A and B are shown apart, each in its own frame.
Chain A
Amino acid sequence: MITIPVVTTETPTGLLLTPSQPIPADAISIICDGEHYNVYQPGDTVPQE
């Protein structure tokens, strides 16, 4: 798993979170926790919801 920090932008309707760099093309699951995008790739164990 890799973590990508969020970038926070002010918008007219509030804060908008976006990844600070592109999500890797081989991602198999992505979970944003408000501070980071946790990106799971092949071989990683994806947490169950």
Chain B
Amino acid sequence: MLRGSSYTGGGGGGIGLPASGVLKQSAVPASVTGTVSETTLATIAVPAGAMGLNGAIQIISRWTFNNTANNKTLRVKFAGTDFLGYSATNSATGEILTIIQNRGVANSQIGDRLAVSGALGTTTANWVTSAIDTTVSQNITLTATLANTGETITLESYQVQILNP
């Protein structure tokens, strides 16, 4: 199959279109403890042009943290823009779906609601929008921030998929 992009992972994508598929996934646990600074737990490079003009990135992340009232802030960023910024409290685990889509052009996106933990349904929160140039390589980063240095946040696993029509 011909593909019009340097990205060659997975199937999908028609003639002249970028491919779809799993860009990267890992179940190697990555943790932070002992600091209240935001800490990068995973970095995934999205190759130039991997997202088509109507393409999307889908990120599933699974987290474990102390079940306390302290904030445990989980972030999913694309090119430095937060598409998730959720503070977990009084819970022990989280599985979060984050979707970022190009809006018919390579430099306009809509993504998930910043403080919503990936749940479908209605909310008062606004969508995150951005103007990231996806014709060049950009990074997805998953970060975690503790409020109490004695606690731990673990990124248990993640899957990053590129979805192109």
Q: List A residues at the B interface (Cβ < 8 Å).
A: 6, 8, 11, 13-19, 27-35, 49
CB atoms of B38 and A33 under 8 A apart: no
CB atoms of A19 and B28 under 8 A apart: no
26 contacts between A and B (CB under 8 A): A8-B37, A14-B38, A16-B37, A16-B39, A16-B40, A16-B143, A17-B35, A17-B38, A18-B40, A19-B40, A27-B28, A28-B28, A29-B28, A29-B31, A30-B31, A31-B32, A32-B31, A32-B33, A32-B35, A32-B41, A33-B35, A34-B32, A34-B33, A34-B149, A49-B152, A49-B154
CB atoms of A15 and B33 under 8 A apart: no
CB atoms of A30 and B37 under 8 A apart: no
With known contacts A34-B34, A49-B152, A49-B154, A17–B29 Cβ distance under 8 A: no
Interface residues on B, range: 10 to 19
With known contacts A13-B38, A16-B38, A49-B154, A31–B33 Cβ distance under 8 A: yes
In the bound complex, what is the Cα–Cα distance between A8 and B39 (angstroms)?
9
Q: List B residues at the A interface (Cβ < 8 Å).
A: 28-35, 37-41, 43, 143, 145, 149, 152, 154
B-side interface mostly: strand
With known contacts A17-B35, A49-B152, A49-B154, A30–B40 Cβ distance under 8 A: no
In the bound complex, what is the Cα–Cα distance between A19 and B40 (angstroms)?
8
Q: Which residue of A lies closest to B143 (CB)?
A: A16
Further contacts, 6 of them, CB under 8 A, given A30-B28, A31-B30: A8-B37, A15-B37, A17-B32, A17-B37, A32-B31, A34-B33
In the bound complex, what is the Cα–Cα distance between A33 and B152 (angstroms)?
10
CB atoms of A14 and B29 under 8 A apart: no
Q: How far is the CB of B66 from chain A (nearest CB, A)?
A: 10
Q: Which of A14, A19, A27, A28 meets B37, CB within 8 Å? A: A14
